[in-house]
Amino acid sequence: MTDLLSKKPIPSQERLIMALDLPSVTEAKNLVEILGDAVRFYKIGLELFMAGDYFELIEWLKGRNKKIFADLKFFDVPETVSRAVRALSAHGVEFATVHGNDAILEAAAKAKGNLKILAVTVLTSLDQGDLKDLGFECDIQRLVLSRARRALALGCDGVISSGLEVPALRREIDEKLLVVSPGIRPVENRPVDDQKRVVTVEQAFLNGADYIVVGRPIRDAANPREAAEKVQAQIEEVFKRVD
């Protein structure tokens, strides 16, 4: 079944976003060099932000023709988020994540410039029990759909969503919504890390994701470049089915 497969004109090689979850910029650069042309799009988050030289790393990646997803999950009073997004947009990154209520999402969307704002729906490290602990009584799918509808209406470009909820997003929300799915595991096995709601590469795209984020399965592989190339081959194979 390929009816939910993304129709957006995104180069196949850019649908993989590699998570640079590493403790230092030096280690991040070393991994990028190892991966070479096997990866074109990188996510850099809070760990590297706190390590220092975050914006130097952005410029270094841009100098190597890489695309950048700044995963900082802005969550603050709307005016502060607006100013932070406006400042980030000057650095030429592709995506940024925002967490929060309608006022926060709207403030980010109004300040985005050429930056695409992705609203966080429900983190892939949370399951139904975790949501209950946080005071949410609705099920995960209903919460993801509600947040996605509001995000699009408020001017956001897309959402971060587990591949498990993507089919519902595609059935019920405008196709223009960008969907980026983390929690990807290249093979079907239960993760031994903090990710709880995971899917395979093939499942994520057949469910309708536009992009996937992969970190540990590539970073911790014996041969990271080979692991990245295998993921790219899986993506290419899925999209060949509709050529």
Provide mean pLDDT across the span 194-218. 85
222-232 pLDDT tens trace: 999 999 999 99
Whether the Cβ atoms of residue 231 and residue 218 lie closer than 8 Å to each other:
yes
Name the region of 192 (left: φ>0; alpha: ψ -120 to 50; beta: rest): alpha
1 vs 146: which has the higher pLDDT: 146
Alpha helices of 24-139 — where are they, by DSSP H? Answer: 25-35, 46-51, 54-63, 78-89, 102-110, 128-133
Q: Tell me what pLDDT residue 145 has.
A: 86
Which is more confident, 163 or 56? Answer: 56
pLDDT at 240: 87
Q: How many residues does the chain have?
A: 243
- The single residue of 7, 29, 67, 73 carrying the catalytic annotation is 73
73 annotated active-site: yes
Give the model confidence (pLDDT) of 155-179 as tens digits: 999 999 888 889 889 988 888 899 9
Residues 63-122: tens digit of each pLDDT: 999 999 999 999 999 999 999 999 999 999 999 999 888 999 999 999 999 999 999 875
Provide mean pLDDT across the span 17-34.
Answer: 97
Tokens 């509001």 sit on residue: 150
Which pLDDT score, from 0 to 100, does residue 31 have? 98
Would you place residue 138 in the very low, low, confident or very high pLDDT band (cuts 50, 70, 90)?
low
For 138, other C-beta atoms within 10 Å of its C-beta total 12
Q: Are 27 and 53 in contact (CB under 8 A)?
A: no
Report the range out of 35-39, 123-127, 165-169, 183-187 with the highest average pLDDT. 35-39
Read off the pTM: 0.89
Give the span between the Cα atoms of 196 and 120, in whole angstroms.
16
Q: Which domains does the chain have, with CATH numbers?
A: 12-240 (3.20.20.70)
Query: Pick the residue with more confidence: 52 or 122?
Result: 52
